[in-house]
Amino acid sequence: MAKKSMIAREVKRQKLARQYADKRAKLRAIVADPEVDFDEKMAASAALAKLPRDSSYTRQVRRCALTGRPKGVYRKFGMGRNKLRQLAMAGEIPGLRKSSW
């Protein structure tokens, strides 16, 4: 089980990312637009740098929904490999079987 502080930190990052998503998208569009002059691009870039770091989507870490484990998490199930295997062996995940050939 992950520390509660680490899980709380991820929740904070998700909240900040949602809060600043529109503002960040507008500033990134200005920076990427080839029609905009250099001074405006630099101003937009500086404004992006002033936003909180945790408001960036890429700072988020995918965690297991059951344990909070940060590594070995399957996107499709939203669970860590350990819990996924444990629940699959118990037959708790519909349509998932252990492969054998």
- The per-residue pLDDT for range 23-65, each reduced to its tens digit, is 999 999 999 999 999 999 999 999 999 999 999 999 999 999 9
Domain assignments of the chain as residue spans, ordered by start: 2-88
Between 1.10.287.1480, 3.30.1330.60, 1.10.10.10, 3.40.190.10, what CATH number should domain 2-88 receive? 1.10.287.1480
Quick one: pLDDT at residue 2?
81
The whole-angstrom separation of Cα 73 and Cα 70 is 7
Q: Is the C-alpha dihedral spanning 12, 17, 18, 23 positive or negative?
A: positive
User: Strand 73-74 to strand 79-80: parallel, antiparallel, or no bridges (unpaired)?
Assistant: antiparallel
Burial of 49 (0-12, 13-18, 19+ CB in 10 A): exposed
Quick one: pLDDT at residue 1?
79
Which residue has better confidence, 46 or 99? 46
What's this model's pTM, rounded to 2 decimal places?
0.76
Quick one: pLDDT at residue 97?
83
